[in-house]
Amino acid sequence: MGKDKPGFLTPKAIANRIKAKGMQKLRWYCQMCQKQCRDENGFKCHMMSESHQRQLLLFAENPDEYVDSFSKEFEEGYCELMKRRFGTKRVHSNIVYQEYIAIRDHVHMNSTMWETLTEFVKWLGREGKCVVDYTEKGWFVQYIDRDPETIRKQESQKAKEKMDMDDEERTSHFIQKQIERAAEMSKTAPTTAEYTELQREDEEQKVTFSMSAAKKEESTVKKIPVSENLFKKPAMKEPGEPSTSKQSSHKSASSSSSSEKKVGEKRKAKSALDEIMEVEERKKERTNRKDHWLSKDIVVKVVFKRLGDKYYKKKAYVKDVKDLFTGIVKMLDSGDVLKVDQTHLETVIPAIGKSVKVVNGAYRGEEATLESLDEKTFSCSIRLSQGLLKGRVLQGIQYEDISKLHTS
């Protein structure tokens, strides 16, 4: 009586299942039948089987069709793995190939039109599916993703990175610009006089100073009282009486010096006030300068071509603002209501004398009147029409910081 067949949980049965599940040798695989044999004897038996002979007859009828289909499957599987596993990163071609052949049911390269991996990589470069370059370490590939969904995600990621830029980075960028501008101004500023050490050739030589400038200033100060005394006869005075002409000249000199002192104090006070105002302006600029500029009741222009010729380069006004960067706009000509991102809109500059709204910068949110335009520097001057600073004229305002105010 023969021995019973080994059970399902015996070590031999488990080992057989593990062998059948794992990767086997490539030379014992039949691509036409998609059958993997475990040893040479099993592969020889499969080659002599009736099913394999039928597959060979089908292949002999149209070999090019089968080779093209296998090549297409191999190329799609390789590119799909590269896209999913590595994205658009530059990677060695053999690393991708090793991961691809680790899949049990992959298409083998010996059944495709490429004999080596190098030929396949060169073909990918010629077809424009990958960026291919050769180095000492071998061939490297970089997948080119042309999927519209991926392109949209990349654009949204860039917009998000721009939004995440915090106030400190913007402030440091603004300060760096101010430093560069100050450095340029210092180059063009006139140089100050340099003071050198006093040197004398002869030690007994006397040092003399020219007081011509001081005499001129003194003569201009005392011009009026001296001219008046020239036409008057000198009065007779008693012995010991003080001179009146000296008193008058002394008074005029003291009055002129006091007036100069007052003018100097006014200039100092004015310069200090200007410095304080400049500091406050810079603080307001840092606080109110934002990435988002959309505001209600301003006129904007649509600059997004994908919306079609019906809306492209047409004007609209902002009815409402959603999430700071998205505006609900109403077209002025057709009356259609659209939801558009801030990047697809631009500000509108009206005619001189019309009302505008400051959408960015130190005076953000203020309403004003357009006074003049400077096309060379792309800036303008405006006059504030509301608030505590009503009537103040602001110069050097950039075009993108103001927009026409919509009046219903």
Q: What is the pLDDT of residue 191?
A: 57
Q: Is the pLDDT of residue 180 over 80?
A: yes
- Across the range 221-239, mean pLDDT stands at 44
Q: What is the pLDDT of residues 18-56, one digit of tens each?
A: 665 655 566 667 777 767 776 777 777 877 888 777 777
> Which residues lie closer than 8 Å to 52 by C-beta, 6 or more apart?
30, 32, 33, 46
Asked if 319 and 335 touch (Cβ cutoff 8 Å), the reply is no
Asked if 298 and 368 touch (Cβ cutoff 8 Å), the reply is no
Q: Is 399 helix (H, G, I), strand (E, B) or coil?
A: helix
Burial of 142 per CB tally in 10 Å (0-12, 13-18, 19+): middle
Percent of the chain with pLDDT over 90: 14
Q: What is the pLDDT of residue 6?
A: 59
Domain annotation for the chain: domains and CATH numbers:
27-148 (1.10.10.2030), 288-404 (2.30.30.30)
Per-residue pLDDT band for 259 (boundaries 50, 70, 90) equals: low
Q: What does R_g of the chain's alpha carbons equal in angstroms?
A: 44
Which H helix or E strand runs over 139?
strand 138-143
Q: Would the pTM of this model clear 0.75, i.e. be above it?
A: no
> Which residues lie closer than 8 Å to 294 by C-beta, 6 or more apart?
300, 318, 321, 324, 325, 326, 327, 342, 345, 359
- Across the range 241-264, mean pLDDT stands at 52
What is the Cα–Cα distance from 338 to 272, expressed in whole angstroms? 50
Per-residue pLDDT band for 203 (boundaries 50, 70, 90) equals: low
Q: What is the pLDDT of residue 328?
A: 92
Q: What is the pLDDT of residues 314-328, one digit of tens each?
A: 999 999 998 888 899
- Across the range 235-240, mean pLDDT stands at 46
Asked if 385 and 353 touch (Cβ cutoff 8 Å), the reply is no
Q: Is the pLDDT of residue 249 over 50?
A: no
Q: What is the pLDDT of residue 346?
A: 92
- Across the range 162-172, mean pLDDT stands at 71
Q: What is the pLDDT of residue 217?
A: 47
DSSP labels for 9-48?
A: TSHHHHHHHHHHHS---GGGEETTTTEE-SSHHHHHHHHT
Asked if 81 and 96 touch (Cβ cutoff 8 Å), the reply is yes
- Which one is predicted more confidently, 166 or 234? 166
Q: What is the pLDDT of residue 30?
A: 73
Q: What is the pLDDT of residue 315?
A: 92
Q: Is the pLDDT of residue 229 over 70?
A: no
Provide the token pair at 23: 């990767």
Burial of 403 per CB tally in 10 Å (0-12, 13-18, 19+): buried
Asked if 304 and 344 touch (Cβ cutoff 8 Å), the reply is yes
Q: What is the pLDDT of residues 269-314, one digit of tens each?
A: 556 667 777 788 788 888 888 888 999 899 999 998 888 888 889 9
What is the Cα–Cα distance from 122 to 207, expressed in whole angstroms? 90
Q: What is the pLDDT of residues 93-114, one digit of tens each?
A: 999 988 888 776 778 787 788 8
Where are the alpha helices (H) located in 24-163, listed in sequence order?
Answer: 40-47, 50-61, 63-86, 93-101, 117-127, 148-163
Q: What is the pLDDT of residues 337-376, one digit of tens each?
A: 888 999 889 999 999 999 999 999 888 889 999 999 988 8
- Which one is predicted more confidently, 385 or 256? 385
Q: Is the pLDDT of residue 208 over 70?
A: no
Q: What is the mean pLDDT of the chain?
A: 77
Which H helix or E strand runs over 270?
helix 244-288
What is the Cα–Cα distance from 41 to 39, expressed in whole angstroms? 6
Block residue for tokens 């988002």: 292
Q: What is the pLDDT of residue 349?
A: 92
- Which one is predicted more confidently, 151 or 137? 137
Q: What is the pLDDT of residue 166?
A: 67
Q: What is the pLDDT of residue 362?
A: 85
Which of 66-80, 108-122, 218-232 shows the lowest mean pLDDT across its residues? 218-232
> Which residues lie closer than 8 Å to 118 by C-beta, 6 or more apart?
139
> Which residues lie closer than 8 Å to 258 by C-beta, 6 or more apart?
none
Maximum average pLDDT range among 12-21, 100-109, 209-218, 223-232: 100-109
Asked if 78 and 100 touch (Cβ cutoff 8 Å), the reply is yes
Q: What is the pLDDT of residue 287?
A: 83
What is the Cα–Cα distance from 408 to 299, expressed in whole angstroms? 11
Give the residue from 145, 130, 122 showing the smallest Cα distance to 91.
Answer: 130
